[in-house]
Amino acid sequence: MVRVKTKLVTWEEIVEWSHGLAMIIRKDGYKPDVIVALARGGYVPARLLCDFLDVENLLSIQSQHWTEAAKAEEKAIIKYPYKVDLSGRRVLIVDDIVDTGDSIKLAYEFIVKNWNPLEARTAALQWISSVAKFKPDYYYIEVTDWTWFQYPWTRLEDTYQFIKRIMTETYKETNKKKWSFEEIVNGFKEWYGIDVGELYYREALRILEEKGIIVREGSEYVLAT
């Protein structure tokens, strides 16, 4: 049984969703002078919106809530705050998804207070309406059932964090420390219901080795405890 409902998002879907979001914004008549990508998930959608909305100016700000895949910190924070004068300019703040809503809400409040825009609005490819405490001005897809969306730009990061979780949780439950590559792949598919492909599994295991979380013993991977 899948433990975390996960959707594997393709690059083609990202382009489609970004174009659809741009059409919604255009239809509403909002023409931003500056697009602000909410780092890190908002980078790609923001750049695509620049293209589809013909906006030249692109900035970014990092408002962080999720520090591990499918696990949130207690509160969002602005990392590396800075000031820029956007007087007289309309701003669009863009993220990939609004789940709790804390990150984009904090970024919006910070930008309005410190960057002095003429107007600021928010946009996301997806809005999880069942759990979000903040509704963006624009979104392309409303998600009513909580799902972890596995975007192309977080695929490796999510994969190694998911594998780490599988191994550590299984160790707590069964004391199992040694895994073959095939067991890890099968466990990944069972827990998350997706298949990211061999390249990502191999790269994820390499990173976990570098971090000292696992140790390679012949053809097996051993959880370092």
The pLDDT of residue 161: 96
* Secondary structure in 3-state letters for 106-172: HHHHHHHHHCCCCEEEEEEEEEECCCCCCCCCEEEEEECCCCEEECHHHHHHHHHHHHHHHHHHHHH
The confidence score (pLDDT) of residue 70 equals 45
Domain ranges of the chain: 10-146, 152-223
Strands 220-223 and 178-180: antiparallel
- Cα→Cα distances 157→64, 176, 203, Å: 15, 24, 10
CA–CA distance, 9 with 25 (Å, rounded to integer): 22
Classify domain 10-146 by CATH number.
3.40.50.2020
Identify the segments of the chain with pLDDT beneath 50.
Answer: 69-70, 73
**Same fold? 10-146, 152-223:** no
Whether residue 99 contacts residue 124, with contact meaning beta carbons closer than 8 Å, is answered with no
Domain 152-223 belongs to what topology? Arc Repressor Mutant, subunit A (1.10.10)
pTM here?
0.90
Strands 6-8 and 148-150 come out as parallel
Instruction: Give residue 74's pLDDT.
Output: 57
Tell me: the pLDDT tens digits for 41-77?
999 999 999 999 999 999 999 987 655 544 554 578 8
8 by Cβ neighbours in 10 Å (0-12 / 13-18 / 19+) ranks as middle
Counting DSSP H helices and E strands in the chain, the numbers are 6, 11
Q: Are 81 and 109 in contact (CB under 8 A)?
A: no
Q: What is the pLDDT of residue 2?
A: 75
The span from the CA of 176 to the CA of 167, in Å, is 8
Report the distance separating Cα 171 and Cα 15, nearest Å: 40
224: left (phi over 0), alpha (psi -120 to 50) or beta: beta
User: Residue 61's closest CA among 75, 47, 42?
Assistant: 42
Residue 112 φ/ψ, nearest 5 degrees: -60, -40
Q: Is omega for the bond preceding 89 within 30 degrees of 0, making it cis?
A: no
